[in-house]
Copies of this chain bind each other. A is one copy, B any other.
């Protein structure tokens, strides 16, 4: 096991993920029933729900491992590095996918950001990320993790990451560039918003 999450047979899990992703992409998340996924993967509906607590969870791959890596990176940052920069670096590193994995990532993210039900569900998954980042900020600044600044930094940096993903999905620019740009904007307090209106 990589990171405890209803192990069972790892190959079955992978096949299930694959099949679900394919079906969701082809038909739309809501229009695919758990029965169809199960049948297409050659197992029973009941077994599907032993691998994934929710239909939506089939889209997330090893997200728990993702969060764990992020936490590890945050914990390992040099104290000399500014906090915001350390978070940016952690996000960049954790999201530095090899090129051959990009199509799969695109497929996942297109679903997560494009299907309302999955977008809603994402909030639950991202809560772990926010928690980790807020804890990091609290640790580094000596403030309570529940205070305004740690929470705000956590949610707005995640907003930055999500936005970078959206722009990347839309074909705008490489993921890493968008991430960097988003963090730069955040760290600078949106300098572009001080200029005069440019005419409609």
Q: How far is the CB of A115 from chain B (nearest CB, A)?
A: 11
Contact A142:B198 (CB < 8 A) given known A148-B163, A156-B186, A193-B84: yes
Judge whether B155 and A185 touch: CB under 8 Å. Answer: no
**Binary CB contact string for chain A from 116 to 152 against chain B (1 if under 8 A, 0 otherwise):** 1001111110010000000001011110001111011
Whether B197 lies near A140 (C-beta < 8 A) is: yes
Scoring A residues 164 to 200 as 1 if CB is less than 8 Å from chain B, else 0, what string do you get?
1011001010000010011001111110111111111
- Quote the shortest CB–CB distance from A134 to chain B (angstroms): 10
Q: Is A41 an interface residue (CB 8 A)?
A: no
A165 to chain B, nearest CB (A): 10
Q: Say whether A167 contacts B151, CB under 8 Å.
A: yes
**Chain A binding surface, main DSSP class:** helix
Closest to A127 in B: B119
Please state if A190 and B153 are interface contacts (CB–CB under 8 Å): yes
Is residue A159 within 8 Å, beta carbon to beta carbon, of the partner chain? yes
Do A84 and B141 have beta carbons less than 8 Å apart?
no
CA distance A167 to B145 in the complex (A): 11
Contact of A142 among B137, B167, B178, B197 (CB under 8 A): B197
Asked if A160 is at the interface (CB within 8 A of a chain B CB), the reply is yes
- Contacts A84-B190, A137-B193, A187-B190 known; A200 to B142 CB distance under 8 Å? yes
A binding-site residues for B, Cβ under 8 Å: 79, 82-84, 116, 119-124, 127, 137, 139-142, 146-149, 151-153, 155-156, 158-160, 162-164, 166-167, 170, 172, 178, 181-182, 185-190, 192-200
